[in-house]
């Protein structure tokens, strides 16, 4: 494959995302005019892009006739849910150990005043719901669709980091810009979108590395395990579950000499998580290389 063709393929997800944002911007003002402030202009613009993304992916999946195998989904639902349950536990174990290490180092402290059983149960249920939703959506899009498409045409050496790059970058596409109802004009949604994408130029290195290595690891899991998407969804859901459950009961300790190992992105991940996840990536890579070098069974 020529270099220009590879570059076009790697850039195509960015073009698709920009197209989804443009569609959302075009329809946000008319929808706001029809619905008033019922949904909120910010919600119409941001969620509109999400709806455009989902609908666009549905069209592409049907057009390219992608199957469960292309997404890395097990043939049977029972096998899929069995993999998810184990992976969810693995994700919980990974981030619980990470939280414990942060507390041991003093980077985060326990807020004893907020430790209430009823509140903990409530946060756990909320964390479970958010974790499952985020895990299913993000992993289906990135490790299912995007990685499934890229690996059709590119080697894992390009497909895996490209998927991780898009995964990490999209976490920083957001805007705090808000408009009063009487300030909304036809171009407000476009100004909101430009402000959202402009944040890509102000990404902190520790935040980027943490999300990039997480995306790399999940992509490696997807390729290393048969029908690995359920594992990716479960691990990701477990991570989010722990963060949403435990973070409200702890605080970032700025007085600690280890505070720099966590990023301002969420106060949990950062250089420390990037370091141990990199070790896991190397272990998975070595495992795959050794398996590929095994002589054929006679």
Q: pLDDT tens-digit profile of 222-280? A: 998 878 999 999 999 999 999 999 999 999 999 999 999 999 888 999 999 999 999 99
pLDDT at 185: 85
pLDDT at 296: 47
Please give the average per-residue pLDDT across 201-218, as a whole number. 94
Q: Check pLDDT > 80 for residue 297.
A: no
pLDDT at 291: 76
pLDDT at 298: 41
Residue listed under structure tokens 């949604």: 189
Choose among 66, 88, 221: nearest CA to 149.
66
Helices (H), 117-247: 117-139, 147-153, 156-170, 188-198, 205-224, 229-246
Q: What angle do CA 2, 6, 12 make, to 5 degrees?
A: 145
Burial class of 197 by CB neighbour count within 10 A (0 to 12, 13 to 18, 19+) = middle
- List, as own/partner pairs, every contact residues 257-262 make where C-beta atoms lie below 8 angstroms and the sequence separation is at least 24, other chains included: 257/106, 258/102, 258/105, 258/106, 258/107, 259/107, 260/206, 261/102, 261/105, 261/107, 262/102, 262/107, 262/108, 262/206
Residue 42 lies in a domain: no
Residue listed under structure tokens 């994700």: 91
Please give the average per-residue pLDDT across 31-40, as a whole number. 75
pLDDT at 211: 97
Residue 103 lies in a domain: yes
Give helix 3-35 / helix 156-170 axis angle, nearest 10°. Answer: 20
- Asked if 111 contacts 249 with a C-beta cutoff of 8 angstroms, the reply is yes
Residue 30 lies in a domain: no
Residue 264 belongs to what domain range?
68-187+201-292
Query: First-to-last CA distance in the chain?
Result: 34
Choose among 136, 142, 290: nearest CA to 222.
142
Q: How many folded domains does the chain comprise?
A: 1
Report the chain's mean pLDDT, rounded to a whole number: 90
Residue 59 lies in a domain: no
3-state secondary structure of 109: strand
Residue 49 lies in a domain: no
Residue 117 lies in a domain: yes
Residue 6 lies in a domain: no
Residue 263 lies in a domain: yes
265: Cα separation from own chain's centroid:
13
pTM above 0.85, yes or no: yes
Please give the average per-residue pLDDT across 7-23, as a whole number. 92
Cα torsion at 127, 133, 135, 137 (round to 10°)? -160
Per-residue pLDDT of 142-191, as tens digits, reads 999 999 999 988 888 999 999 999 999 999 998 888 888 778 888 889 99
């Amino acid at each position: 494959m020529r270099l220009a063709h590879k570059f076009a393929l790697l850039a195509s997800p960015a073009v698709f995302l920009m197209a989804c944002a443009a569609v959302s911007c075009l329809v946000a003002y008319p929808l706001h005019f029809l619905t008033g402030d019922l949904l909120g202009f910010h919600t119409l613009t941001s969620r509109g892009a999400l709806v455009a993304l989902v609908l666009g992916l549905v069209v592409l999946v049907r057009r390219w006739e992608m199957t469960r195998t292309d997404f890395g989904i097990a043939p049977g639902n029972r096998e899929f849910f069995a993999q998810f349950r184990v992976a969810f536990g693995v994700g919980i174990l990974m981030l619980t150990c990470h939280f414990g290490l942060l507390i041991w180092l003093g980077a985060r402290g326990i807020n004893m005043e907020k430790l209430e059983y009823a509140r903990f149960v409530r946060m756990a249920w909320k964390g479970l719901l958010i974790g499952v939703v985020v895990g299913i959506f993000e992993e289906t899009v990135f490790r299912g669709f995007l990685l499934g498409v890229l690996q059709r045409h590119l080697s894992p050496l390009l497909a895996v980091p490209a998927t991780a790059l898009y995964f990490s970058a999209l976490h920083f596409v957001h805007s705090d810009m808000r408009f009063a109802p009487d300030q909304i004009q036809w171009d407000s949604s476009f100004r909101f979108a430009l402000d959202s994408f402009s944040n890509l130029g102000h990404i902190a290195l520790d935040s980027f590395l943490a999300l990039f290595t997480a995306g790399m690891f999940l992509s490696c899991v997807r390729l290393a395990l048969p029908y690995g998407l359920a594992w990716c969804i479960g691990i990701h859901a477990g991570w989010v579950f722990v963060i949403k459950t435990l973070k409200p009961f702890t605080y970032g300790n700025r007085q600690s000499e280890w505070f720099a190992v966590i990023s301002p992105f969420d106060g949990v991940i950062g250089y420390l998580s990037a370091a141990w996840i990199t070790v896991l990536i190397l272990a998975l890579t070595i495992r795959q290389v050794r398996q590929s070098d095994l002589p054929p069974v006679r």
